[in-house]
Structure 1
Amino acid sequence: MTNLTLPSVLAFDRKLEPSDAIMHSGKWVNIEDSTQWQEIELFDRRNRAVKSNFKQEVLDNEEELQKQIAEANLAWGDDAALAHDNDTLKISFSLRIVGGLDQPSVCNKVEFERCYRETISEYTDSSLEELAKRYAYNIANGRFLWRNRVGAQDAKVFVTHSSLSSPLEFNAYDFPLNKTTSDDTSIKVLAQLIKAGLAGNENTLLTINAYVKLGEGQRVWPSQEMVLNSPKGEKSRHLFNLNGQAAIHCEKIGNALRTIDDWYPDAMAPIAIEAYGSVTQRGVAYRSSKNDFKTLLLKWLNNGSVSNEDKHFVAAMVIRGGVFGEGES
């Protein structure tokens, strides 16, 4: 058979669909009382700061440097914090898990789609549990809390599903961020729920509530909005909110859940599933053109030698979703 090549148009719908996460303020002792939590509203913070970032031509001109150092750096932006008599942050979101891994949303090459469906269906039947366990682990460890997880006194995550008589409860710090799996019984239960959704056996909807004991009045960290070319003198930091309530973007939640790739070469810690293993905060792509998504997908479909780890990566990319036709990146 002639080797398959990528279609000019190929796309997959996302299979993990988190909602935006909303933030509440309350007390650790009231974790089990949902009526005792108040919305966290954004407020303006204005500071007279100092300048510490200069162009090289300014650094080379002592007179100009001294002039600019003397000028105040007026900072104006959104901020968010717990109420001063509250010590705990609550973050809530839902997660919809969608099946149909074997069905591209768009594919304009019939033979490619036929082979893809056969290959991914076989994977779904035999190997999906590994990915489900990793997604479950990232719910249990509260990775989706991001900076709100750092240095807390305590952190708990509760997961509810219609089939459960009581929520699954996790102590987030029992599950280190530099690992991806655990033999914990509750994680195994959660993984089975996720697997059932990904396999298309049921329409899985999870509700996640996380509680982080930060300390009374402590600052919290919603998502930051990207604002291009903010005029001088205007607000420079805009935080995400839903009707004024501090919140975290669904994309940021999704990035945390898919931080399961420790299959890349010389892996030190898991990174988010991306076609080339890109980590923009570090300016590094950990997957070269030899072990990127498109290369491994074609190799697998053409019956090349592909490790189980690489198959997991390819399937996780399908779950991530995106446009991957020939020439697309």
Structure 2
Amino acid sequence: MAEKTELKTASVLAFERKLDPSDALFRAGIWERREQDGEWPEVPVREKSVRGTISNRLKTKDQDPAKLDAAIENPNLQTVDVAALPNDADTLMTHFTLKVLGNAGRPCACNNAAYEQKLQTLVQGYIDQEGFGTLAYRYAQNLANGRFLWRNRMGSEEVEVRVSRLEGGEPVESWTFSALDVPLRDFGAEGEAASGLEDLAEAIRQGLSGEKFVLLDVVAFARMGRGQEVFPSQELVLDRSRGDKSKTLYAVNGVAGIHSQKLGNAIRTIDTWYPTASEAASPGPIAVEPYGSVTTQGTAYRQPRQKVDFYSLLDNWGLKDKEPEQGQKHFVMATLIRGGVFGEKVD
């Protein structure tokens, strides 16, 4: 009788992302003319040179006071990128598309057939028990509340989000949300704020399950004030020798925009299942990441030593048949929907 082979994690294991946003581009106009969005001009990125002051923390220990005084008395000359609404426009329009792909949880590359079969059994069990309804609703709420606008949302008097499902390039379903009425911290809107959320979530669920092809067109209008600065993505410049600008903004053919990666991060900010999520000092929902990393805080909320990171949960579930609690199941599936390379390194 042949011995049972111990199941091991595949060394090659990769998943495609199933929520695939485009870049978002900025236009400007008047709030009352939202129906005439075809006439709205693009928001350009332009350079500005400024004369500032030295305000960063300096090393003062063992420093010559005269040299220190000279350092802080000199002006801080900077060239920066800036984007702003024109003086005759008070509203920022942000436009992107979101493709929702099927076969969620199925690897696009796996070099271990037995492991892939076990993984598919777990995924199918999750679909049979839970479906994608919980995750789809949270993704839908992050579209409805305009979380993807980031800083542009925080400085707005009013925000309206319009989501349409396209077929053949034409809208077949549409939903409109008053974004500031849809919660950012808690999932489960009520009253008028919830109107249309269930239907939008159902469309996303159908896309994730592969029942139909789902392409969403997302347009957000943020009333910020005439001539006000707007906030595209900021480029990470690793080689400072290539230029002397202290801030470089993202632009597509000169038009200000937001990276698709930043949009994706906002849409998948649904993880409220990490250990400290219920504490008053918690940041609320965080983006789905294998280790719960929030780089702006320098913190990982899913530490491997706590066995609540993605890899520990997946290995316990798939290799040791230790079924995680419901919330952690949602997290594991959301990480597979996020996509990435998750194979085990071979020594």
TM-score > 0.5 by shorter chain: yes
Matches of 1:104 and 1:67 in 2, distance apart?
60
For residues 58-99 of structure 1, give each alpha carbon's deviation from its aligned partner in whole angstroms, at most 9, with x where no partner exists: 774322210101211111011000010100000000000011
Q: CA deviation at 1:181?
A: 3.0
Q: Could you say what secondary structure the match of 1:216 adopts?
A: coil
Q: CA deviation at 1:207?
A: 0.1
- Of 315-324 and 234-243, deviating more is 234-243
Structure 1 residue aligned with 2:195:
185
Distance 1:102 1:278, change over 3 A: closer
- Of 106-115 and 116-125, deviating more is 116-125
Report matched runs for 1:64-79 at 5 Å: 64-79=67-82
For residues 180-239 of structure 1, give each alpha carbon's deviation from its aligned partner in whole angstroms, at most 9, with x where no partner exists: 333523110000000000001111000000000000000000001111131397222111
Structure 1 residue aligned with 2:206:
196
Matches of 1:134 and 1:187 in 2, distance apart?
9
Distance 1:315 1:233, change over 3 A: closer
Structure 2 residue aligned with 1:147:
151
Structure 2 residue aligned with 1:308:
326
Q: CA deviation at 1:33?
A: 1.2
Matches of 2:201 and 2:71 in 1, distance apart?
56
Structure 1 residue aligned with 2:295:
280
Distance 1:271 1:47, change over 3 A: same
Q: CA deviation at 1:258?
A: 0.3
CA contact (8 A) 1:4 1:298 kept: no
Matches of 1:276 and 1:212 in 2, distance apart?
33
Structure 2 residue aligned with 1:205:
215
Distance 1:28 1:4, change over 3 A: same
Q: CA deviation at 1:271?
A: 0.3
Distance 1:84 1:59, change over 3 A: farther
2:142 maps to 1:138: yes
- Of 309-318 and 297-306, deviating more is 297-306
TM-score scaled to structure 1, two decimals?
0.95
Q: CA deviation at 1:266?
A: 1.8
Identical aligned pairs, as a percentage?
Answer: 42
TM-score scaled to structure 2, two decimals?
0.90
RMSD: 1.8
CA contact (8 A) 2:15 2:105 kept: no
2:257 maps to 1:253: no
Report matched runs for 1:1-329 at 5 Å: 4-57=7-60, 60-127=63-130, 128-162=132-166, 167-183=174-190, 184-231=194-241, 234-267=244-277, 268=282, 269-289=284-304, 290-301=307-318, 302-327=320-345
Matches of 1:225 and 1:232 in 2, distance apart?
13
CA contact (8 A) 1:58 1:64 kept: no
Matches of 1:74 and 1:5 in 2, distance apart?
57
Distance 1:176 1:296, change over 3 A: same
- Counterpart AA for 2:201: A
Distance 1:303 1:233, change over 3 A: closer
How many residues end up aligned between the 2 structures? Answer: 328
> What 5-or-longer segments of structure 2 have no aligned partner?
none
CA contact (8 A) 1:138 1:180 kept: no
Matches of 1:324 and 1:298 in 2, distance apart?
11
